[in-house]
Each structure stands twice: as structure tokens, then as C-alpha cells.
Structure 1
């Protein structure tokens, strides 16, 4: 029986660029392979994100998008909770609405689960020979510190806990009681996944096309401190 991949896309104020990532996702959908469902959760954007998505749907009538909207802004984590809850595919992958991650690499993440050796796959920006945009020194130090602290608590040996690209078996991710509303999603889900008996976690190298703040990057130093709090909270 054919397997299905649910692609969960949280979106907040991505109106000017969301059609670019949808073009990339659409190209992957049309290329065949696994069946795919696209779930977009608009976290009460204040720009024209909703209009941009609706316009894209009208211009691409054969491209099925399940669209959900929060009536108040709750945060990226909350948007992911909604998307994960609505997913019906065999596997669920997180896809940011920006252009930092390349949907053409879904197959890289899918291979370990399709080979029946993994239940969860993380896409690492810090391993492999894929292209990486050179940006912020302190961001890279912060990411490595958070990954180190998370690993020390979970006894995992991840290289990139904070990566967007995380792929789960649907029943695995839907079994978790997730609480974090913003960027604390990453350390929380990692802590809770690590505690599942017998869970098989893999990591694969991916490319990374990072954005500057002028280009729309949203995470900041406050989210870093929240991540430290979440690592301690969900592991102690």
C-alpha cells in the first residue's frame, strides 16, 4: 500500500515569499514517489500571507493545500501542534515557510524510515557535504551549545537539535503531549522523543540557505534562553 508524507508548514508574515517555498514543495509533489499532503497553518499573520496562499491555491487548482488559521498569534510551536494534529500521512515532516531548507531533500530524510531502520530522522546543517550559507557566528555557537546541553540531558549524540527538518512516523509524533508555543518546540520534542523506549533516531546531512534578519529571520536571543529553560524543564 502506498505511503503518504504529511508536510506541515507553519507560517507567520511570509506573504512576500511563501509562493517560492510552495513552488518548491509543489515540484516535489509532482515528481512522484510517496503521496503527499500539504498542511499550512497561518499563525494569525498581520501581512498578506493568507491572501498569498489563497491566490496560490487559485492559480494551482490541482495542488491540494489544507489551510488552517489561528485567530490569535500563538507562536511557531502552536502552529506545529495544529498541523501535527491534522496530519493523516504515515510520516510527518516539518517545513518552514521561508527558503532556508530545500524540499528536494525530503528523500534524504525519508530513506532511513523507508528502509525500516528509523522512527525519527533529523536533518543536520552541521554534517555532510551539502551547501551552507555563511551567516552569524554567535548563532552557530548558540546552536552548538543548545545541542550539547540537550545531548547531555538526553544521552543522544545529535549534531543539530535545533534543525527545522525533523521527520517522524505520524503515530510517534501524535503520541506526544507537546506544550511549547514558540521556538521551545525543538528541545521539547527532542526530550520527549528520546524518552520513548526503543525509539530509533537517525541524522542525515542537509543543506542550509539561511536568512538574515532583513530577509525575514525571526528567532532571537530570547528564544535561545527559552530553549535552555526548555531543555532543563523537559529533561529533569
Structure 2
């Protein structure tokens, strides 16, 4: 599935002719001590099997649970050319975490995903395949098409997510089926451009990225994914997030 018309068609867009693609995975963390070793192991294995060049950038926002110390150990185990720990002193938000991570990324493609095991790295080769097939600027994981789905959520969470997605589709007509998901592959220069335009924080941020992409005529491919609720730790979605989502949605509707 594609939207827009500005990004496709130029086979040399991924970089200089003959330059091999490299994928920088940005992993923002906050209290993910239990999940981090497993997600990193899965990523290393996935990239090892596919043969794609990669690096994993861990952006820890001053987690009090020892996430940073675990990340330091992982850097020693896998090597500092594959695992780059780029921590910050305190929790400063998802958008700024991506900006911070991008400043250290050497890949020409950026993959963003959650560190809590809700996104399985096994879908990454499909993202890469999809991007190459359509020369897309963005490939977004979708829970709402094909064999995509959500596992481990109660009915309330499913209704909130579906409802948020439905309202957004009606108001913004974004040309993508899953707006609040955060498992995506971007061309690096496209992500940089979108970050410059993006004003939202928190839950609305992912949605704004797709809406701005449509405005700028970037092309979007979609890959169905399974989303699994976190195994360890607390979900970060609460009543405040729902209120701020609705406010952000109305702001986007008024300004786009």
C-alpha cells in the first residue's frame, strides 16, 4: 500500500551509487532492564541471518532500574560498533530521544521500535524487502491490515486503540492504516525532515509523523505485524495519555 507521490521512482535515493544500505535501530529505553537483553539478542540474530549491515543505538533516559548498566554490559558483549549506548540524564520524551539517537546514527535507514518486546524483530527483514520493492520513503508496521493483530490487550485497550485509529482516519485521511504504532523504517533524511516539522509529544507523536509525511508527499509502504503486550514492566498508557492524544488530534486537525 502506498500513499503520496514524492519519494518513489529514483533507484539511487538510498545513498551514493554502490553504497551498501546500513540500518540504524533506535531503541529509546526507560526502565527496560528485563527486556533489553532479549530484544538486543533478537535484533542481533535477525540481522545476522538476513546479512544486512546494522547498528543498535540505545537511548536510555536515566532509568532508575539499572537499564543503563545492562546496556553497558551488552555493549561489551556484542561490541561497541554494533551496540551504541547514548544515554541522557533524565526522561525527556520520545521525539527528542529519536533526534538524539539520529545524531549518532551512521545508517542511511533508521528503524524505530519499542524496547519492551511488543515489536518482534522478525518483521524487520519484511520491512527492508517492502522498502526495496517499492522504493518507499517509510515502511510502517500495521496491526490493522492483513494478518496483523494485537495480543495480550484487554478489551478496553483494544477499543481505545481502534477508536483512536478510526477517529484519526476520519479526521485526517492519512493514507496509512495504523497511525499510533511505533514500529517503522524511515530513510534517514526523511525522518530528519519529519522531526523538524513535528510538534507533538507522547502518544500523538507517531501519528503526526505519518500525517506530516502525507503532507510532504513521502511514500509509505505497510507490513502487517503482530503487536504483543509487554511481558515485563508497566505499560506507559494511562488516562493522561488518552486526554493528550485527543488534544493532539484536534490540534493536528486544525493545523494540517
The 1-side partners of 2:170 and 2:39 are apart by: 35
Match of 1:194 among 214, 236, 256: 214
Please tell me whether residue 208 in structure 1 is matched to residue 208 in structure 2.
Answer: no
The answer on whether the counterparts of 2:54 and 2:82 sit within 8 Å (CA) in structure 1 is no
Q: Distance in 1 between matches of 2:113 and 2:130?
A: 18
Give the equivalent residue in structure 2 for 1:234. 252
Query: Counterpart in 1 of 2:136?
Result: 118
How far did residue 193 of structure 1 move? 1.3
**1:150 paired residue among 168, 178, 199:** 168
State the 1:173 CA deviation.
Answer: 0.8
Which residue of structure 1 lines up, in the alignment, with residue 199 of structure 2?
179
**Equivalent pairs, count:** 234
- Supply the distance in 2 between the matched residues of 1:179 and 1:88 (Cα, whole angstroms): 25
Match of 1:64 among 55, 70, 82: 82
Task: Indicate if the aligned counterparts of 1:88 and 1:170 stay in contact, CA closer than 8 A.
Answer: no
Equivalent residue, structure 2, for 1:161: 179
Q: Is the 8 A contact 2:74 2:83 kept in 1?
A: no
Tell me how large the CA RMSD over aligned residues is.
2.1
Whole-Å separation in 2 of the counterparts to 1:210 and 1:162: 15
TM-score by length of 2: 0.83
Q: Distance in 2 between matches of 1:119 and 1:203?
A: 11
Greater mean deviation of Cα atoms: 125-134 or 145-154: 125-134
> Cα distance, 1:157 vs. partner?
4.3
Query: Partners of 1:196 and 1:116 in 2: how far apart?
Result: 18
Q: Following TM superposition, by how much is the alpha carbon of 1:149 offset from its aligned partner in structure 2, in angstroms?
A: 2.5
Partner of 1:22: 40
Instruction: Decide which of 97, 101, 115 is 1:83's aligned counterpart.
Output: 101
Please give the alpha-carbon distance, in whole angstroms, between the structure 2 residues aligned to 1:134 and 1:47: 24
- SS of the equivalent of 2:54 reads strand
**Corresponding residue to 1:139 among 157, 164, 173:** 157
Tell me, yes or no, if the aligned pair for 1:7 and 1:94 is still in contact at 8 Å: yes
SS of 1:89 mapped into structure 2: coil
Structure 1 residue 8: Cα displacement: 0.6
Taking structure 1 as the reference length, the TM-score comes to: 0.89
Distance 2:134 2:149 in 1: 28
- The alpha-carbon deviation at position 131 of structure 1 amounts to 6.6
Gaps of 5+ in 2: 1-18
Larger RCO, structure (CA 8 Å, separation 6 or more): 2
Q: Does the 8 A contact of 2:55 with 2:83 survive in 1?
A: yes
